[in-house]
Amino acid sequence: MQVMIMAGGKGERFWPYSRLSTPKQLLPIVSKKSMIEETIERLEGIVEQKDIFISTRRDLVDSIKKVLPDFPEENYIVEPFPRDTAPAIGLATVVMSNRRPGDVMVVLPADHYIKDKEMFQKDLLLASKVAQDTGCLLTFGIQPDHPETGYGYIELGEIVSREYDSPVYEVKSFKEKPDYETAKKYYESKRFLWNSGMFVWTTNAILNAIERYMPSLFEGLMKIRDSIGKFSEEKVKEEEFEKFEKISIDYGVMEKADNVLCLKARFDWSDVGSWSALEKVKEKDENGNVISSDWAGIDTRNSIIVNDEGIIGTIGVRDLLIIKYKDALLVADKNREQEIKKLVEKIAGSDKLKKYIL
């Protein structure tokens, strides 16, 4: 088994903590360790460090090295240009298949929260066995506990095998992020799971799928694979990556493939996609507040308050995000946190203000 950890995201919804040089995956959002450290530690005991690769964009490598000073230099897979997950996964696949052909390949985001390490490892080993036995593309689905509009969904088909510890389902379809009424129907039907963005397959299986459904990407990847270890490797990688379409693996492969299976995750999970996710992974006080700082308040309810130093004081506020980090302060209606990304874009568009997102 070889593991690709995707660590190239910008984490804009966690501004002002998350900046371009230190996005969410490099920060201690949930615990005292960075999320990428927790992701690697979650694999201890079933995957050796030499078999773990970090895929990221070029400008993040130095920041990751500061967080992971002992991680092997040769296990960074650097994308010359950001081209979304299909080219990134394709590049990692050719690197891994060149190293050990036919291995099981696990794809994990660097910024998910999973508390139950033991059950996660059991499910990962199960998925690895199913991938080897079937040659199919596996994804993990998460049992919804409410109608969620911020996730894609997996529509389950029939159970294709009961010979494993957990049922293996065929995937009937993938659904994009729905509106609330559609999400409610998905939730009530019990036939839909949240799409976790975690995948397990053999390197041969995913390369065959890319060849079939994304032939131009496959052609470029083969040129890159032929150049590995040669003087021209970096030049070829840059030339081919610049031509790749910017597209996710979901759009490019998973939604088209006819050999996709799903395991219903038995571990707890959160993608920690926004500040409000802290309400699920951290304890609340008696007034429903999540506090991660020195704070004193009067009549303060259902708010998330995070501060890197000093103290925050509040009086008579409800449903707010109050996030202070270094030189920036965010105060927002908690119900409008999806607009943080727009705010970051606005700041980035100002020559005077863009220093606050770097």
Domains and CATH numbers, the chain: 2-264 (3.90.550.10), 275-357 (no CATH)
Question: Is 293 a residue whose pLDDT tops 90?
Answer: no
Q: Across the strands, what pairs with 268?
A: none
pLDDT tens, position by position, 185-222? 999 999 999 999 999 999 999 999 999 999 999 999 99
* Order of strands across the sheet that contains 304-315: 290-298, 304-315, 320-325, 328-333
Q: Which helix (H) or strand (E) holds 70?
A: none
Give per-residue pLDDT as tens, 139-168.
999 999 999 998 999 999 999 988 899 999
The DSSP string of 92-149 is: HHHHHHHHSTT-EEEEEETT-B---HHHHHHHHHHHHHHHHHH--EEEEEE--SS--S
**In whole numbers, what is the pLDDT of the chain averaged over residues?**
95
Give the β-pairing of 328-333 and 137-142.
unpaired
pTM of the model: 0.93
pLDDT digits (tens, 9 = 90+) for 231-249: 999 999 999 999 999 999 9
Rounded CA-CA distance 102/324 in Å is 48
Local confidence band at 31 (pLDDT 50, 70, 90 cut-offs)? confident
| Distance (Å, whole) CA 274 – CA 311 | 23
